[in-house]
């Protein structure tokens, strides 16, 4: 028989444990099992769940496309994961259970195709160009790329190993600016967030990020960025546990994604 303080601790621990188990139950989305009598038999027999890993800069667009796809195909679930394309590619090569990969550069997609992990050749769905983002009041009085060489200003860019960082390096070379960043961030969303909070005077992000941030940042266009566009390839992955659904979602994004991508500020693929 457990008495006194030990009993209270045990009751406490049990309650915490039960709550934790109940909450993990909420985490998994519920889908109708394929062929169950409750579902109305989706067109083409597509069902199940797929995981899509995508570049951080696609986060304003892909959720809408995923929900539209799920509405068109009841009984399917599309789970989205965003991050720096090079980190995502490394995870896929290391065996992460991902069904579709949308990268922010052909170089990071090549990491996955070189490892023979794509089920279909990648298709470019959009292109993007870099833009300077500053806080709305522009406290650093940033006028253009040349200000990135000013050591007194706090400027940040993406790490050169991610696509937006590689493009940034190209743009600086084209503009002949010896940039002195104060930090190399692991993905473009980190750069944008630090500009939004005012921790940085300026950051080099994508035009789509400036648009998505709305009134939280101000954008300053960069002429040389037109010569350093990044391309976004998408491909289903051969290790997918649900390859028909992965291919269907990829085709959906390729064929039906153009209006949403254009609305977010992406450039067309060619």
Partner 1 sequence: MIAPAVLGGVLLAGPLVALLVRAPWERMGELLAGPVVLPALGLSFGTAFASTVVCVVLGVPLAAVLAGSDGWPRAVTRVARAVVATPLVLPPVVGGIALLLLLSRTGLLGRPLFAAFGLTIPFTTAAVVIAQAFVGLPFLVLSVEGALRGVDARFTVAAATLGASPWATFVRVTLPLAAPGLAAGAVLSFARALGEFGATITFAGSLPGVTETLPVAAYVALTNDPGSAIAIAVVLVVVALAVLLALRERWLTGLRA
Question: Which residues contact partner 1 (rule: CB under 8 A)?
Answer: 84, 86-87, 89-90, 154, 156, 159, 161, 181-186, 194, 197-200
Q: How far is CA 233 from CA 71, 100, 113, 154, 189, in A?
A: 24, 11, 11, 33, 19
Written as six digits, the tokens of 136 are: 């709305």
Q: How far is the CB of 18 from partner 1 (least distance, A)?
A: 21
CA end-to-end distance (rounded Å), the chain: 75
> Nearest approach, Cβ of 245 to partner 1 (angstroms)?
28
User: Which DSSP category does 43 fall into?
Assistant: G
Residue with Cβ nearer partner 1 (13 or 262): 13
Closer residue to partner 1 in complex, CB, 131/185: 185
User: Are 234 and 253 spatial neighbours (Cβ–Cβ below 8 Å)?
Assistant: yes
CA dihedral 234→239→242→247, nearest 10 degrees, is 30
**Nearest distance in Å: CB 205, partner 1:** 15
d(Cα 270, Cα 125) in Å, to the nearest integer?
9
Nearer of residues 145 and 157 to partner 1, judged by Cβ: 157
Cα–Cα distance for residue pair 92/94, rounded to 1 Å: 5
CB of 110 to partner 1, least distance (A): 12
**Could you tell me the smallest distance in angstroms from the CB atom of residue 16 to partner 1?**
14
Q: Which residue has the tokens 């991508």?
A: 261
* Nearest to partner 1 of 89, 253 (CB atom): 89
Q: Where are the beta strands (DSSP E) in 138-244?
A: 155-158, 183-185, 202-206, 218-221, 230-236
- Our CB check for partner 1 shows the closer of 170 and 183 to be 183
The nearest distance, CB 92 to partner 1, in angstroms, is: 11
Nearest CB to partner 1, comparing residues 104 and 248: 104
């Amino acid at each position: 028989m457990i008495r006194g303080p030990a009993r209270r601790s045990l009751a406490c621990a049990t309650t915490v444990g039960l709550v934790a188990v109940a909450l993990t139950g909420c985490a998994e989305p519920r889908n109708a099992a394929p062929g169950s009598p409750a579902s109305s038999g989706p067109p083409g027999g597509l069902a199940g769940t797929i995981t899509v890993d995508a570049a951080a800069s696609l986060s304003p667009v892909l959720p809408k496309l995923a929900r539209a796809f799920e509405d068109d195909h009841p009984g399917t679930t599309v789970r989205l994961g965003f991050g720096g394309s090079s980190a995502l590619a490394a995870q896929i090569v290391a065996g992460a259970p991902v069904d579709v990969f949308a990268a922010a550069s052909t170089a990071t997609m090549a990491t996955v195709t070189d490892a023979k992990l794509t089920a279909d050749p990648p298709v470019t769905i959009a292109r993007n160009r870099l833009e300077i983002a500053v806080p709305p009041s522009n406290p650093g009085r940033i006028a253009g790329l040349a200000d990135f060489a000013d050591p007194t200003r706090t400027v940040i860019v993406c790490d050169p190993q991610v696509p937006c960082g590689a493009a940034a390096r190209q743009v600086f070379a084209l503009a002949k600016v010896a940039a002195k960043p104060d930090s190399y961030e692991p993905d473009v969303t980190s750069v944008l967030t630090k500009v939004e909070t005012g921790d940085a005077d300026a950051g080099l992000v994508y035009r789509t990020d400036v648009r998505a941030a709305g009134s939280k940042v101000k954008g300053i266009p960069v002429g040389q960025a037109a010569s350093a566009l990044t391309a976004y390839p998408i491909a289903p992955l051969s290790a997918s546990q649900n390859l028909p659904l992965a291919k269907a979602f990829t085709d959906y994004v390729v064929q039906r994604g153009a209006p949403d991508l254009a609305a977010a500020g992406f450039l067309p693929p060619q």
